[in-house]
Structure 1
Amino acid sequence: MAFYEQNPRRVTGVFDANPASTVRYFFRRGDPAVLTRRAPSSNITRDGGWFGGADQAPDVPLDRAILDDNTYAALTSALRTNGFHGPPGYYLNHADNARYAESALHEGRLDMPVQFVGAEYDDIADIHVPSAHTAMRDTCRDLTESVVSAGHWLQLEKPDEVNQLIEDWLHTKNLVPTGQHVRVSD
């Protein structure tokens, strides 16, 4: 996040240099090795940017366990047209997010049922960091936590499992009538 904040134009320029390669690089299935090694993103600032400071993403094969040809084409086309300025914008918005959180109703506590579905092999949003769970538990009165053995794109990697977790949770919390089938994502 620090590299994004300090170098937003560099990040988007590198990603925009070859959107097809960028999409193929980022949309990968989870790797259990993430549990025993440093995340690749941990060296971005030290290396002078993504991909070891290179000017574009490396050319890697499409991971068909995550993206089919149609989804890959749609993502690539949209990012060629619109660029990568929007997607990393979240990392440039910490001050505004903090101000918003300070003015949130009930001091930011959520009283409604909340489900968190984490990815066991996510090297970006690491669910193995205890403080992440503490913050969720402190702010969600009725929190259900689930973990899927997948990477960052868990909804693409294991759609049936993610959908089943969400559907079961909706029924358990009586948010969907009994017997009604819910398909959350494909």
Structure 2
Amino acid sequence: LDYTISLVDRSIYPEAEFPTGQWEYMRFYEEHFADATRPMDANPDAMIKAIFRKGSPEVVGQPASTAMVRKAGGWFGGQSEAPSMPRDNDVISAEEVEIYATALRRNGFFGPNSWYMNHVTNAAYFGELANGGGLDLPACFIAARYDSTCEAVTSRMPEPMRALCSNLTETTIDSGHWMAQERPFEVNRDLARWLFAQLPDLLD
């Protein structure tokens, strides 16, 4: 996380106000894991509907909602559960909500949220990778223009990827974080173009 913070766009996230930029929510997990997880476990259905939202051009150049979690005392301003919101049909179906919510009611959010507790371990693992973590195989990265948290269009966030991937193709799609759900045609189009460019024999 510390290295990722070094790539934060400080024109959007002044360090005095947002020490960890859009990753403030990750610090909240580290500092208050139970408080971060509790409102999610309280109502998985509402949580799924709240987070599966399409992107909007209005977020470009603005602080991400994830940057507010720490100062607000938790997700959704420290409320006991996610607010009730209508399902975003452009991103997730009623059937998919039920599938996710059923699994999360059974297993809880402890497992998924634990990802944010492993930055030190993940960094140590990366340090042991062959070739310094470099990748010579063909790689494709599709950036989401309206993903203000994982912002990879105007920020320095993609720089390490570009340095480590010697055969990298990059494209950008006008979508939010849930790109595959929001823009499936465009995602598959860009993947197909990349795949056929790298393996033209597939067209024979």
TM-score (norm 1): 0.92
Name whichever of 87-96 and 135-144 sits farther off.
Answer: 87-96
User: CA offset at residue 141 of structure 1?
Assistant: 0.6
C-alpha distance in 2, partners of 1:153/1:89?
A: 20
Q: Percent identity?
A: 35
Over 4 Å off, 4+ runs: none
Alignment partner of 1:60 out of 85, 101, 104: 85
- 1:184 aligns with none
Structure 1: tracts of 5 or more residues without a match: 180-186
Deviations 1:59-114 (A, max 9, x none): 11000000111111101111111111122222111011111011001000001011
| Corresponding residue of 1:80 | 105
Q: Does 1:50 align with 2:89?
A: no
* Alignment partner, residue 14 of structure 1: 39
Question: SS at 1:112's partner residue?
Answer: coil
Match of 2:55 among 22, 25, 30: 30
- Report the RMSD for the aligned CA atoms in angstroms: 1.3
* Partner residue in 2 for 1:139: 164
In structure 1, how many angstroms separate the alpha carbons of the residues matched to 2:62 and 2:158? 21
Paired residue total: 179
How far apart, in 2, do the equivalents of 1:122 and 1:87 lie?
Answer: 20
Matches of 1:55 and 1:177, distance apart in 2: 52
Residues 70/42 of structure 1: CA separation in 2 closer, same or farther (3 Å cut): same
What's the offset of the Cα at 1:140?
0.5
State the one-letter code of the partner of 2:180: Q
Quote the offset at 1:37 in angstroms. Answer: 2.3
Q: Distance in 1 between matches of 2:132 and 2:200?
A: 25
Aligned mates of 2:83, 2:183 — CA distance in 1 = 25
Q: How far off its partner does 1:175 sit? A: 7.3
Give the TM-score taking structure 2 as reference length.
Answer: 0.84
What is the CA-CA distance between 1:176 and the residue it aligns to? 6.7
Cα distance per residue 1:140-164 (max 9 Å; x no partner): 1111111110000000000111011
- 2:175 is the alignment partner of 1:154: no
What aligned pairs does 1:103-182 form with structure 2 within 5 A after superposition?
103-174=128-199, 177-178=202-203
Gaps of 5+ in 2: 1-25
Q: In 1, Cα distance between the equivalents of 2:200 and 2:113?
A: 33
CA displacement, residues 23-77 of structure 1 (integer Å, 9 cap, x when unaligned): 0000000011110422111111111111011111111100000011111110111
Moved more, 168-177 or 112-121: 168-177
What is the CA–CA distance in structure 2 between the aligned matches of 1:33 and 1:89, rounded to whole Å? 31
Using a 3 Å threshold, how does the CA distance of structure 1 residues 7 and 175 change in structure 2: closer, same or farther? farther
